[in-house]
Amino acid sequence: MKRYSFPRKILAVLLCMSLLLASSSCKKKKTQDLGERGIKESDPFFESEVSELKFPIDESKKLEYMSIDSIRFLGQKILASYIIQYEFPEADPETGYLTDIQWEEYSRQGTAMFSMEGEYLGEMVNNDAFGLPCIAVDNDGNIATLSMNYNENYQVDGLKIVSRDDSGNTVKEIDLQMPPSSDLQYVTVLQFLPDGKIAVQSSYTAPVYIFDASGKYLFNIASVERGVAGEIFLHEGKYYAFSMPTDWFGTLDYYIHEIDMTTGEMKPGKKANGIVNISALTYGEDGVYTSTPNGISKYNPVSGEMEEVFDWNETDVNRRILSSVRSFPINENEIHAIATEYNDSFINYKYYVLNLKRAKSNPHAGKKILYVGGLGLSSGFYDYMYEYNADTSHDCRIEAFDYLYSLEDGTSLDEQFYTNITNRINLMLLSGEAPDILVNFAGYDQYANDAMLVDLNTYIDSGKGLDRSEYFDNIFRSMEVNGKLYYIPMSFALEGYLANTQYLDADTNWTFDDMDRAAEALPDGMLMIPPTESTDLLKKYMGSDLTTYMDYANKKVNFNSEGMIRVFEEVKKYAAKEDLSDRSFLMGLVGTSSYGGLKVYDTSDFSGLGGSKPVVKLIDYLRYDQSAMVGVEITDLNDYSLYLGIAEGNGKFIGYPSLHGNGVMAQSGESMAIFAGSPYKDEAWEVIRSFFSKEAQTSLTSGIGRGFPLNISAFDENMQAEKEKINGAYTEFQKDVSQNEVWNVILYPVEDGQVEELKGIIENAKSSYHTDEAVMSVIMEEAPGYFEDTRSAEEVLKNIDNRALLIVQER
């Protein structure tokens, strides 16, 4: 059955779209010395053993999905609570029923035990009739499980903890006194505190119930607006806990609070700078540890500082598996970790145990270091880095650092993060301290000059370059600044509007004048676009033109111009007039394991999901004729066919309107640039060029939402494979519909001609996103003055000119 739980779908979408968010950002224990090019024997290095955890999957059946509820080190074992669901066999064609089937063979749940080397040791006995056990290690080192008794209303009316030794013998049982007025329906967190108290919690939105060592209920820890997330931990004699907003559609941030463990009072907290994902934290006897694809750090709840204790460049693990990793440092010479490798299908993630031990000497001594700095380094890059470093014929070793996890610039949750980080990169380039290769900075035009970056056209057109006829050369050209290619895209997406041709017949390269004429012809009551904040719309309408108002070479700006006044006027005309802060917006597409991870249209009613805020599906404005078009991003054939299907044959992908008809905008996926001051420019180009082989391009973009390849042959093969996958899933979807086994989802096939149509759109794209984060921040601060009718456009743009000029001149 294709049961389709919305919380699981949301999780899947978050994982698909934002795997870059690991547990924290951190300060390095020392500043990376880019001038230190040679590796010495005395440089720290850790030997690594990586083992995949093999769960008890019945290979004779087809797996529908596997879900891991929790996975952790407990003593010298690894415990993982799991649910495995297999696809049921075909029903009897005459009766429509499944016959002669042992239902329990197709659904399994349990807690698997593994050795520290990843060997499957068997199952932990679970006496709880309702789901997976809640497990912890008690203060005597025994494995403790919490079982729940339920009343006729399926509410918990009894809690019992059973502790067992390594042989499985019961050594202690504790009945927990039920809290008064408890509405517990399940428990997911069991914790034994150092002072002997016991804590249980169902979720971060619920109270933490505290008991004494005998099971007597003492008090609860609760807050109306914020819930305790993660474990309660001891630091320098005081208890602390992190919190997050209980309204998960609101602003996501984390605070650290001191907890009074005599009363349960959660004292006023302070923002936990550097923490991005509570679930990736680990709690040791000497503190809280947090891991990212850069390294492992220790968090101090008093100072709020992170100190890096390990750098992943100090070992040879393939960092593609480290997007979600929890690390357990034993001491300075030994580290254990559990890593999760996600995939597009959401069906069967891979889990690894990593054992790291300090080596006596660095085996890479004598090699030079090629430094790479990126903003969200991909699994494809880490695959290449792992293979490159394993090849002993190379004179260099790549060391990578992902600025997305560097606390020096705040975190990706901070409003000024990208402004801060682009300013820092600017200083690094000017001072000569930049990495040899910069990854994912395409469109930041403040760096686009010969003093900072290399014009990659000189390499493309050299003897060791690329044959432009084999690539979408127009996409390369769209990324140029003054005829020079400072950032080369390795993949790309398309951005624009999906228009309903019943009401709007616009050219792809339309202008503001065209949009105004089209708006006059719309039926009464129909919006041109869904409700959109004026500042968000401003970003779209000036996205490909921003830096044309800036002359970096001569340190001049010219925002106070007729062109920008017109942009402001158009934004004011079509942006929402009402306050939109009382609602949340989602596109309405989700990924599902039921159909190979493909995105589908979710027809569910989202209105009650946002807590205090209603949730609005943007795509419904187009589907139900409420607006003539809606803004979309096309990252693959799945997106394109799905949007056209939702439009029921009346969809057309067009560009954002602009002054000069720039058309559909190409958005760089992953990009690379070479620092002009690098001593290893040729070696850096060899690294970049390797990503443009047909095989590398296919690997980089195969999967859901990974963008389009630049290589035309790889594009053609990707499209054929994606078409077959989508249409195969559509056949399965139709079958499920006929058997009433689909809930609230719609999938559409790839129609004849759509691939050719999409390719034609790509071949005609001529613009890309160009910006300057510091200047854009100024525009976002000043522009509301015009949209709120407190200042004229000329007054606002004069202020922008003055402030932007200071930024440009100070660089």
CB 402 within 8 A of CB 294: yes
Mean pLDDT of all residues in 449-461:
97
pLDDT of residue 12: 31
CB 351 within 8 A of CB 120: no
> pLDDT category, 208, cuts 50, 70, 90?
very high
> pLDDT category, 607, cuts 50, 70, 90?
low
DSSP notation for 586-628: E-SEEE-GGGTT-EEEE-S--TTTTTTS-EEETHHHHHTTSBS
**3-state SS assignment for residue 664:** coil
CB 393 within 8 A of CB 77: no
Q: Which of the two residues, 417 and 667, has the higher pLDDT score? A: 667
pLDDT of residue 167: 80
Mean pLDDT of all residues in 439-459:
95
- DSSP, res 444: B
- The CA-atom distances, in angstroms, between 192 and each of 74, 112, 177, 197, 257 are 13, 22, 16, 6, 19
Residue 680 has pLDDT above 60, yes or no: yes
CATH for the stretch 21-358: 2.120.10
> pLDDT category, 31, cuts 50, 70, 90?
very low
Dihedral (CA of 595, 597, 603, 605) sign: positive
Q: Which two tokens stand for residue 18?
A: 């934002």
3-state SS record for 210-279: EECCCCCEEEEECCCCEEEEEEEEEECCEEEEEEEECCCCCCCCCEEEEEECCCCEECCCEECCCECCHH
Mean pLDDT of all residues in 177-191:
82
Sequence-separated (6 or more) residues with CB below 8 Å from residue 206: 184, 227
pLDDT of residue 18: 33
Highest mean pLDDT among 126-135, 469-478, 583-592: 469-478
pLDDT of residue 130: 47
> pLDDT category, 19, cuts 50, 70, 90?
very low
Sequence-separated (6 or more) residues with CB below 8 Å from residue 167: none
Mean pLDDT of all residues in 44-64:
92
pLDDT of residue 411: 62
- DSSP, res 360: S
- For residue range 214-269, list pLDDT tens digits in order: 999 999 998 878 999 999 999 989 999 999 988 766 678 899 999 999 999 999 99
Bridge partners of 444, per DSSP, are 771
pLDDT of residue 24: 47
- Per domain, the residue ranges of the chain are 21-358, 532-577+772-811
pLDDT of residue 346: 62
Q: Which of the two residues, 9 and 404, has the higher pLDDT score? A: 404
Q: β-strands 665-668, 491-500: how paired?
A: antiparallel
- For residue range 352-377, list pLDDT tens digits in order: 999 999 999 999 999 999 999 999 99
Residue 29 has pLDDT above 80, yes or no: no
CB 313 within 8 A of CB 325: no
Question: Pseudo-torsion of CA 349, 355, 360, 365, nearest 10°?
Answer: 0
CB 629 within 8 A of CB 659: no
CB 748 within 8 A of CB 598: no
Mean pLDDT of all residues in 730-754:
92
- For residue range 612-642, list pLDDT tens digits in order: 678 889 999 999 999 999 999 999 999 999 9
Residue 732 has pLDDT above 60, yes or no: yes
> pLDDT category, 646, cuts 50, 70, 90?
very high
Distance CA(633)–CA(642), nearest Å, equals: 12
Distance CA(206)–CA(209), nearest Å, equals: 9
Highest mean pLDDT among 33-47, 113-127, 439-453: 439-453
295 closest CA partner among 433, 401, 424: 401
Mean pLDDT of all residues in 173-180:
92
385 closest CA partner among 394, 48, 489, 675: 394
Residue 3 has pLDDT above 50, yes or no: no
Residue 17 has pLDDT above 60, yes or no: no
pLDDT of residue 407: 64
Mean pLDDT of all residues in 368-389:
94
pLDDT of residue 201: 92
pLDDT of residue 23: 46
Residue 577 has pLDDT above 80, yes or no: yes
Task: Give the phi and the psi of residue 327 in degrees, each rounded to 5.
Answer: -115, 145
- For residue range 83-141, list pLDDT tens digits in order: 898 988 877 766 667 767 777 788 888 889 999 999 999 987 655 544 556 888 899 98
Dihedral (CA of 565, 567, 569, 571) sign: negative
Distance CA(548)–CA(570), nearest Å, equals: 18
426 closest CA partner among 34, 774, 779, 769: 774
Q: Is 24 exposed, middle or buried (0-12, 13-18, 19+ CB in 10 A)?
A: buried
Distance CA(294)–CA(313), nearest Å, equals: 8
Dihedral (CA of 224, 226, 230, 232) sign: negative
Q: Which of the two residues, 154 and 261, has the higher pLDDT score? A: 261
Distance CA(29)–CA(6), nearest Å, equals: 42
Distance CA(119)–CA(48), nearest Å, equals: 16
Distance CA(342)–CA(340), nearest Å, equals: 6
Beta strands in 432-526 (DSSP E): 437-439, 488-489, 491-500
Q: What is the mean pLDDT of the chain?
A: 88
Residue 14 has pLDDT above 60, yes or no: no
**3-state SS assignment for residue 103:** helix
> pLDDT category, 319, cuts 50, 70, 90?
very high
Mean pLDDT of all residues in 493-506:
95
pLDDT of residue 470: 98
Residue 101: how many other CB atoms lie within 10 Å: 12
Sequence-separated (6 or more) residues with CB below 8 Å from residue 430: 452, 811
Sequence-separated (6 or more) residues with CB below 8 Å from residue 741: 1, 2
Q: Which two tokens stand for residue 671?
A: 């990009």
Side-chain-side CA neighbours of residue 731 (13 Å): 5
> pLDDT category, 347, cuts 50, 70, 90?
low
713 closest CA partner among 506, 538, 467: 467
CB 591 within 8 A of CB 346: yes
Where do we find the tokens 């519909």? 737
Mean pLDDT of all residues in 287-294:
88
3-state SS record for 706-721: CCEECEHHHHHHHHHH
Where do we find the tokens 């495995």? 84
Give CA 32 to chain center in angstroms: 26
Q: Which two tokens stand for residue 2?
A: 């294709």
